A = this chain, B = another copy of it.
Amino acid sequence: MSPDPIKSLNTALISIDLVAFQLSTKNSLRVLVHQLPENNYPQLPAGRIEPEFDHCLEDTAKRQLSRLTSEPATYFEQVVTIGDNQRDSRGWSLTVVYYVLMRPGNEQSLKAGAAWVDVVNGQPAMTLAYDHNQLVMEALDRLKNKIQYSALPVYLLPAEFTLADIQNVFTVILDKAPPMRSIRNRFLNCDLLEDTGKKRYGSNRPATLYQTKRQSETWLFDRLYLTTKV
């Protein structure tokens, strides 16, 4: 009896898992999942490295995303790699977890089997397959932390947005937000945004619509907001 090829290579089952965040119209954060007919629980977009298509891990991760939606990600980052012999009954498994931010999109860009699951109280509103609830929580922790010292909130917004929209991103993700004064000072002093000249009208004073300047690096600030500290 020849040894199990996995063990003889001293390797593990590898998958690349993706936590794709988006704001829903009803002011919640949600996560992209794949509902397979043969599975009880929806799962995160995930898959193996396909050597014919993927030159690097990012390729694999982006391919997972494109299988479920035609929209591109506005932000993309590796979270962590988890590996042990508990997660998968077949033995050692290893998962590289990425998270991405997406602009609010229309449902039509979703492909077959794709759906959104709301994030409620820091976790997915329903049970996901495998340890995917845990993976969402780890990505969410990163997101919660990083919006406090970076321009990440902008990547969850449409191409044109107001400063109040930025404040709203904080509220949705953290249930609290820094004061407008602080948001204005930070985001308007960092040479990241430019006035589009347009306004958003409502039954009140119209709000200035901004867009991000050119293809700028992800902006990092040198302080956290204290009002929203986790």
Please measure, in the bound complex, the distance between the C-alpha atom of A55 and the C-alpha atom of B92, giving whole angstroms: 8
- For A85, what are the chain B residues with a Cβ–Cβ distance below 8 Å? 51, 54-56
CB distance from A88 to the nearest CB of B (A): 12
Say yes or no for A188: interface residue by CB 8 A criterion.
no
Most buried by B among A11, A85, A96, A223: A11
B78 and A57 contact, CB distance less than 8 A: no
Select from chain B the residue with minimum beta-carbon distance to A81. B81
Q: Which residues of A contact B (CB under 8 A)?
A: 5-7, 9-14, 48-51, 54-57, 60, 78, 80-86, 91-92, 94, 96, 222-224, 226, 229
28 A-B residue pairings within 8 Å (CB atoms): A6-B9, A9-B11, A9-B13, A10-B49, A10-B51, A11-B11, A11-B12, A11-B48, A12-B49, A14-B14, A14-B94, A49-B83, A51-B85, A51-B91, A54-B85, A55-B84, A56-B84, A56-B85, A57-B81, A57-B82, A57-B83, A57-B84, A57-B94, A78-B81, A81-B81, A94-B96, A222-B224, A223-B223
